[in-house]
Amino acid sequence: MRNCAGKRAVSILLVAGTCAAAPVSAPDPAFEARWRDGRAELDGYRLKVNRYGAPRTGRAVLVYVTEPFSARARVKLDRPELDPRDVVDVLKLNVVRDFQTGIYDYNTMVSTFVRTDNLKPLKVSFTSTEWCGNVYAEMRLDPHRITEQVFSYFEGESGVRTIDWPAGGLLEDELLIRLRGLHGEWMRSGERKRVPFLAGAFWRRLAHRRADWTSATIERLAAPERIRVPAGTFATIVYVVRAADGREGRFHVEAADPHRIVRWEWIPPGATGQGRGLGGTDRGELTGSRRLAYWKLHDPGDERYLDSLGIGPAAP
C-alpha cells in the first residue's frame, strides 16, 4: 500500500470549483504535534447495526490520517511538489463497517476528506459491497454546491446530481471529526444550535434515501458523563443530534486529549431499541486505539496489531 500520511502542504481556497491562492493560517501546535508524526490514528469499535428489523453484530474501525490532496482531481497526491498550487492539506477519516445479516455480510466504508486548517469538507466517498452487488457514491464539495455521482448495481440509482450547499450546512459525515474539537472546542458547554443537515452516506444507503438537505438540532450537554466501554472507563463530553428524519444521535467524546469518539449511537425514528423495516442506524463502542503506520503492516503476522484495537482478524 502507498504511504497514506502526508507532510504539511500549501493551503488553497476553492471558489466555484477553481483554485486561488490563499494565505496559510498559522499552524495549530497541538494539531501539528499529533498529526504530523507519519502515523494514523486507528480506533476499533464493537458495532451494532439495525438492519431488517433486527440488531446485527459487527466491527468498525475509524482511521484518521493527514495527507496531501489534489484540489482539482480530489485524490491523494503521490508527488505534491510537482504542482504546489494544486495541493491542499487534508485530514482523512475512513469509517469501515463490517457486519453480518443472516447468510451474507456487508462491508462498507465512508471516506471524508476535510481541510486541516478549518476542517471544511472537500469530498465524501462511500462504498458498499454485499451479496446483491456493489455501490459507489462520491460527493465533490465546492462552495455553495455539491456534485454527487452514484454508481450502483441497483436499477434507477446511478447518475449525477448537483445539490445546493446552504450557508451553515453540516454533513452527518463530518460529525466524527467536528465533535472532536481538533482545533479547539466546536461548541460551548450547554450550547444548542439548529443547522441545515445532510444525512450520512451509510444511513442513506441502508435506508434507501436520496441525498437531500433537511435540518438538525445539535446540543452539547452541560454535564459530562463517565461511561464504560470495552476499551475502559472515560470521562466524556456528550453531544445530542436530533435530525428532522426522526433519528436521534448521541456522541460521547473523550474529554481528555486526543478527544477520541468513545461511543456513538443513532436511535431509529420512533423507536428506542432495534430498528424497523430496512433499518440503518448503528452504535459503536470503543474497543481499542493505536497510532500506527498501518500501510506498512501488511506482512504475515501483522494481524496481531488488531488485538490492540480490540478486534480480531477476519476468519481464514
pLDDT tens readout for residues 122-164: 999 999 999 999 999 999 999 999 999 999 999 999 999 999 9
- E strand intervals along the chain: 12-15, 18-21, 40-51, 54-70, 87-101, 104-115, 121-130, 133-142, 145-152, 159-164, 170-171, 192-198, 213-220, 225-229, 232-243, 248-254, 261-267, 279-292
pLDDT of 269: 86
Given this model, what pLDDT does residue 239 score?
98
Does the global pTM surpass 0.85?
yes
At residue 274, the pLDDT reads 42
Query: Nearest 10 degrees: CA dihedral of 302, 303, 306, 311?
Result: 180
Instruction: Quote the pLDDT of residue 86.
Output: 94
**Per-residue model confidence (pLDDT) at position 26:** 65
**pLDDT value of residue 2:** 61
Distances (CA, A) of 190 to 73, 182, 252, 303: 40, 19, 15, 43
Query: Which 8-state DSSP code applies to residue 25?
Result: P
Alpha-carbon distances of 163 from 70, 74, 112, 142, 190, rounded to whole Å: 22, 18, 18, 10, 32
Residue numbers of the chain with a pLDDT score lower than 50 = 7-24, 272-275, 316
**Cβ atoms within 10 Å, residue 135:** 20
